[in-house]
Structure 1
Amino acid sequence: MNIQVIITIIDFLLWLIIAANVMYVLFFALASHLPKKTHLPSAILRPFGSKRAEPERRHQTSDIRHQTSFLVLIPAYHEDAVIINTVKSFLQQDYPKDLYQLCVISDHMDATTNEQLAALPITLLQPTFENSSKAKALQYAISQTSNVSHHPYDYVVILDADNVVATDFLSRLSQIVRPDIAIQCHRTAKNADNDIAALDGLSEEINNSIFRRGHNRIGLSSALIGSGMCFNYEWFKNNVNKLDSTVEDRELEALLMKQGIFIHYSEDIQVLDEKVSNGDNFQRQRLRWMTGQVQALSQMLPYAPKAIFTGNINYIDKTIQQALIPRSILLILTPLFAFISFIIAFFIPHLSFIFYLWLLLLILLIIAIFLSIPASLQTSAFFSRIWALPQLVWRMLMNILHIRTDNNEFIHTTHQQ
């Protein structure tokens, strides 16, 4: 086998890998522009692989005998800079006060912060974890609130310590909740004060288009995103103790998919989220996400054969998602390989077809990304910030060297005042 054949085989294998990623992104970017479905799929609460049973509907808001109640959980690890403003903002909800309970899980926060929180009409929990994680905070909160609550809640809402929502947030949620579905609200940036924050917000909106709106538009479950999530209380109480990693949102996804529960993306209910505004925080955040993606893939793969056998399309799709290359890295690798193939074609002209294959992929990827960007962000001022992208991608590539699948240590991202 001569060197030209070896080059061709290696190049084509790399092309196939990148092509699979690009086509996945392009397909759901196109799907995100399909008309919005007027009816949600009839998902139901059932064990993985078991026969379907009729969903319980006693807590639906259409039932005038019952008003929907919410337990709102905010895990707060070293979040002294933002938690007070978040809590005070949330307490302005126009929803009846007796129908929701706001619970802050204060983990390693200052005594002064806890004193201020204790003075507010909320439930304040102060666990002492040796190794903190969001999953542990949620488990602790459910164990405490389920023991002291005078009546069971209907739904659990999970927010981050920096999240800000509109005053009608719970009112609008109460109109769409169903006991047989989970809800992911539209998390969007509340700050774009520099290039890093702006690009972080742009990345989130691209993911919203591909992994949430695009999926729902063709009847598939949305991806979860860690906050702005709403679950049936009984389901969450029965499943939260199964979480044992630092990527609780991906574990929750897997649990929901195993049990055939649909995740609805409520794009009209916004949750404002603070975007990282410096390179170090960006790198720590992406390291947590990349590590979590690898961990989630290793956890989900053993169930994939059963999902295929039972036709659990949503579980298969979520497993594939964990194997995808991050979009920003795709934007670097694709033109890089195209350039390399151009050099090869220059010296070996009859291999020029390889360059055209890579060029085609690059064009399709750019189209997919452009289709995924909301029209409100397609401005010259916003695109002028793209120059910072190579620096951020380089930080992500450096993270690859630090991914440890057995690492369950929580990587904290600090917030600004």
Structure 2
Amino acid sequence: MNIQVIITIIDFLLWLIIAVNVMYVLFFALASHLPKKTHLPSAILRPFGSKRADLERRHQTSDISHQPSFLVLIPAYHEDAVIINTVKSFLQQDYPKDLYQLCVISDHMEATTNEQLAALPITLLQPTFENSSKAKALQYAIFSISHQPSTIYDYVVILDADNIVAPDFLSRLSQIARPDIAIQCHRTAKNANNDIAALDGLSEEINNSIFRRGHNRIGMSSALIGSGMCFAYRWFKGNVTKLNTAVEDRELETLLMKQGIHIYYAENIHVLDEKVCNSENFQRQRLRWMTGQVQALFLMLPYIPKATITGNINYIDKTIQQTLIPRSILLVLTPILCIIATLTSYIIHHTSFLFPLKWWLLLLLLFTALYISIPTKQHNGMLIKNAVTLPNLVYRMLGNLLHIRPKNKEFIHTTHNT
């Protein structure tokens, strides 16, 4: 086998890998522009215990005028800089005060911060974990609250310590919440104070289009994103004990998909989220996400045969997502491969440009997919300005590949500003 054949085979295999990623992104980017469904989906509820029929019966015969109650959980690990502002902002909800309970799980925060929180009309829990994680905080909260007398809620809402929501957040959630679905709200940037924060916010909106809105528009489940999530209280109480990694949102997705529970993307209910402002925080955050992606893949693969036999498309799709190359890496890697293919074509084939043509076509499709995934209001000159920051951030993400430890359950914390 001569060198030309070897290069051709390697070129085709690389192209095929990138093409699968680009086609996935392009398909759901296009799907995100389909008309919004006017009704919530009918989900298959598989459950927690033997009370499925009872839960469905209660839902079908429930009084539509009933206002549900909410348990709002905010895990806060070293979040002294933002937690007070977040709590005070949330307490401005226009929802009846007796129908929601705000609970902050204060993990390794300063005594002065805890004193300020204790003075507010909230439930303050102060666990002492040797190895902290968001999953442990959620488990601790549910265990503590479920053992209090007369504490029965309809739904659990999970927010991050830096999240800010509108005063009608719970009111709007109450209008769409159902026991047989989970809800992911529209998390969006609350700051764009430098190029890194702006790029982080832009990346989140692209993911919202592809992995949330695009999926829902064709009847598939949205992806979860870690905060701005709402679950049936009984379901969450029965499943939170199963969380075992530092990426609890992916574990929750897995549990929901196994049980046939649909994740609805509430794109008009916004949750403002602080974006990282420096490259070190960006690198730590992406390391957590990339590690979680590998952990989730290993977690989900054993169930794939059963999902295939039972036709669990959402579970199969969520597993495929764990194999995808991050969009920012794809955006930098594809042009590099285009240039390499072009140079190789010139050296090996002399004047033939047919060899790299498929690469440039792929790059065009990738740019198209990402562009149509960006909200129209962000189609401006800032796109090019923010893109200048991308190569350095991708370099840091590639460096993370050397530090991914699939069995590592340590929580990787990113700090927030005031």
Normalization by structure 2: what TM-score?
A: 0.97
CA distance in 1, matches of 2:327, 2:55: 37
In structure 1, the partner of 2:323 is 323
Deviation readout 1:315-357 (Å, 9 max, x if unpaired):
0000000000000000111111110010011112276333001
**Counterpart check, 1:133 vs 2:133:** yes
CA distance in 1, matches of 2:200, 2:149: 39
Deviation readout 1:270-327 (Å, 9 max, x if unpaired):
0000000000000000000000000000100000111000000000000000000000
Deviation readout 1:60-94 (Å, 9 max, x if unpaired):
89715632000000000000000000000000000
CA distance in 2, matches of 1:217, 1:295: 28
1:267–1:62 distance in 2 versus 1, CA, 3 Å:
farther
**Counterpart check, 1:373 vs 2:374:** yes
CA distance in 1, matches of 2:201, 2:42: 32
In structure 1, the partner of 2:403 is 402
Q: Which moved more, 1:236-245 or 1:57-66?
A: 57-66
TM alignment of 1:286-297, pairs within 5 A: 286-297=286-297
Q: Which moved more, 1:218-227 or 1:144-153?
A: 144-153
In structure 1, the partner of 2:178 is 178
CA distance in 1, matches of 2:65, 2:3: 76
Pairwise CA distance, 1:58: 3.2
Contact kept in structure 1, 2:307 and 2:313, CA below 8 Å: yes
Deviation readout 1:226-246 (Å, 9 max, x if unpaired):
000000000000000000000
In the comparison of the two structures, how many residue pairs are matched? 415
Give the CA RMSD over aligned residues: 1.7
1:199–1:60 distance in 2 versus 1, CA, 3 Å:
farther
In structure 1, the partner of 2:298 is 298
AA in 2 matched with 1:334? T
In structure 1, the partner of 2:355 is 354
Q: Which runs of 4+ in 1 moved over 6 A?
A: none
In structure 1, the partner of 2:17 is 17
Deviation readout 1:240-268 (Å, 9 max, x if unpaired):
00000000000000000000000000000
Contact kept in structure 1, 2:145 and 2:151, CA below 8 Å: no
Secondary structure of the residue aligned to 2:400 is: helix
Unaligned 5+ runs, structure 1:
none
TM alignment of 1:57-136, pairs within 5 A: 58=58, 63-64=63-64, 66-136=66-136
AA in 2 matched with 1:264? Y
Secondary structure of the residue aligned to 1:184 is: strand
CA distance in 2, matches of 1:90, 1:367: 38
Deviation readout 1:153-174 (Å, 9 max, x if unpaired):
0000000000000000000000
1:104–1:60 distance in 2 versus 1, CA, 3 Å:
farther
Deviation readout 1:187-230 (Å, 9 max, x if unpaired):
00000000000000000000000000000000000000000000
AA in 2 matched with 1:121? P
CA distance in 2, matches of 1:243, 1:98: 30
Contact kept in structure 2, 1:201 and 1:275, CA below 8 Å: yes
CA distance in 2, matches of 1:61, 1:335: 57
1:366–1:57 distance in 2 versus 1, CA, 3 Å:
farther
Contact kept in structure 2, 1:59 and 1:68, CA below 8 Å: no
AA in 2 matched with 1:398? G
Pairwise CA distance, 1:149: 4.5
**Counterpart check, 1:391 vs 2:411:** no
CA distance in 1, matches of 2:186, 2:368: 23
In structure 2, the partner of 1:28 is 28
CA distance in 2, matches of 1:310, 1:174: 33
Secondary structure of the residue aligned to 1:196 is: helix
CA distance in 2, matches of 1:245, 1:403: 14
Contact kept in structure 2, 1:61 and 1:68, CA below 8 Å: no
AA in 2 matched with 1:13? L
Deviation readout 1:91-129 (Å, 9 max, x if unpaired):
000000000000000000000000000000000000000
AA in 1 matched with 2:107? D
Unaligned 5+ runs, structure 2:
none
Secondary structure of the residue aligned to 1:11 is: helix
Work out the percentage of aligned pairs sharing the same amino acid.
78
